[in-house]
Amino acid sequence: GAVVSQHPSWVICKSGTSVKIECRSLDFQATTMFWYRQFPKQSLMLMATSNEGSKATYEQGVEKDKFLINHASLTLSTLTVTSAHPEDSSFYICSARDTNSPLHFGNGTRLTVT
């Protein structure tokens, strides 16, 4: 089955630093990748949608200059949380799909900003 690898699985960083999260589709070409954030006991919140080779589309209220998304190839997308603050602490999940196929999720990255 389709596998999406997300790295790292958890990260602790200091306030003001930047953190990069990688999302890779291992056995299929991901024309579209999605980045979600989930706070405890809340539902998935879509942050942005990225298509290979083009700029990401951000959901309303998500700062594009703070959450930098790069989808440079059909198998790799990265999310960089810049100048992280404690309120950015959350569970970040990527997902990937080929056109009109089911979404497959990475295992998520638990970010803690101290």
Partner 1 sequence: QKEVEQNSGPLSVPEGAIASLNCTYSDRGSQSFFWYRQYSGKSPELIMSIYSNGDKEDGRFTAQLNKASQYVSLLIRDSQPSDSATYLCAVNEDNDMRFGAGTRLTVKP
Which chain residues interact with partner 1 by CB under 8 A? 6, 32, 34, 43-44, 46, 91, 93, 97, 99-100, 102-108
CB 75 → partner 1: shortest distance, Å?
Answer: 18
**Which residue is it, tokens 């990748």?**
33
Q: Output 65 or 102, the one with its CB closest to partner 1.
A: 102
CB 54 → partner 1: shortest distance, Å?
Answer: 13
| Count of helices and strands (H, E) across the chain | 0, 11
Q: Quick one: CA dihedral 103, 77, 59, 17, positive or negative?
A: positive
Q: Output 54 or 100, the one with its CB closest to partner 1.
A: 100
CB 81 → partner 1: shortest distance, Å?
Answer: 18
Q: Output 46 or 68, the one with its CB closest to partner 1.
A: 46
CB 16 → partner 1: shortest distance, Å?
Answer: 27
Residue count (the chain):
114
Q: DSSP label at 54?
A: S
Q: Output 67 or 92, the one with its CB closest to partner 1.
A: 92
Range list of β-strands (E), 17-108: 19-25, 32-38, 45-51, 57-58, 67-73, 76-81, 90-97, 104-105
